[in-house]
């Protein structure tokens, strides 16, 4: 999954001027366990099992710090934000009915060619692609 190990979290936070807290550690560790793309409320519900006194605001702020440090990614779809701990190159399929997000390996689009852009003086250093449609569950409704 190419996620960063939790034992380096403190170093990453301190290097960027952030405090290392047990709340941020719990948020990060729980994100690493996710196979889906939870929103802040879902992470809050999970972390709250470990830290019953944590607030939703602390989870929101913790997730934003992790995004800023590039330890997780934010996936925005419309006015909804979800989070992804999978830092490997991949694309997202987003169901326009249930809003579920699915990871797709980049090999599905092998014909992506950036040489034409580079010939025009634009150096590509990354890209993201999100495809929308209906997942198999929603197609069968």
Strand-pairing partners, residue 84, are 73
Q: What share of the chain is helix, strand, coil (3-state, %, to 5)?
A: 40, 20, 40
CATH architecture under which domain 90-139 falls: 2-Layer Sandwich (3.30)
Domain with CATH 1.10.10.10 in the chain: 6-84
Q: Which regions of the chain carry the CATH code 3.30.1490.190? A: 90-139
Question: How far apart are alpha carbons 90 and 105 in whole angstroms?
Answer: 5
Which candidate, 43, 36, 76, places its Cα nearest to that of 57? 43
34: CB partners within 8 A, 6+ apart? 43, 83, 85
* R_g over Cα of the chain: 17
Query: What pLDDT does residue 49 have?
Result: 97
pLDDT tens digits for 40-66? 999 999 999 999 999 999 999 999 999
Write down the pTM of the prediction. 0.80
- The residue that leads in pLDDT, 32 or 8, is 32
Least confident piece of the model among 9-13, 35-39, 71-75: 9-13
pLDDT of residue 79: 83
pLDDT in tens, 91-119: 889 898 988 899 888 777 766 666 777 77
Q: Tokens representing 64?
A: 């934003």
For 6-84, the fitting CATH number among 2.40.40.20, 1.10.3720.10, 2.102.10.10, 1.10.10.10 is 1.10.10.10
How far apart CA 114 and CA 134 sit, in angstroms, is 29
């Amino acid at each position: 999954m190419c996620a960063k190990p939790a034992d380096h979290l403190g170093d990453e936070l301190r290097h960027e001027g952030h405090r290392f807290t047990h709340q941020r550690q719990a948020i990060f560790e729980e994100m690493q366990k996710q196979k889906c793309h939870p929103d802040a409320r879902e992470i809050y519900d999970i972390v709250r099992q470990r830290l019953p006194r944590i607030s939703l605001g602390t989870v929101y702020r913790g997730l934003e710090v992790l995004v800023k440090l590039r330890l997780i990614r934010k996936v925005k779809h419309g006015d909804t934000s979800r989070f992804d701990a999978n830092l490997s190159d991949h694309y997202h399929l987003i169901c326009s009915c249930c809003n579920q997000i699915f990871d797709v390996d980049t090999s599905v689009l092998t014909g992506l060619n950036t040489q034409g852009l580079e010939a025009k003086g634009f150096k590509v250093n990354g890209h993201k692609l999100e495809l929308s449609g209906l997942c198999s569950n929603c197609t069968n409704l």
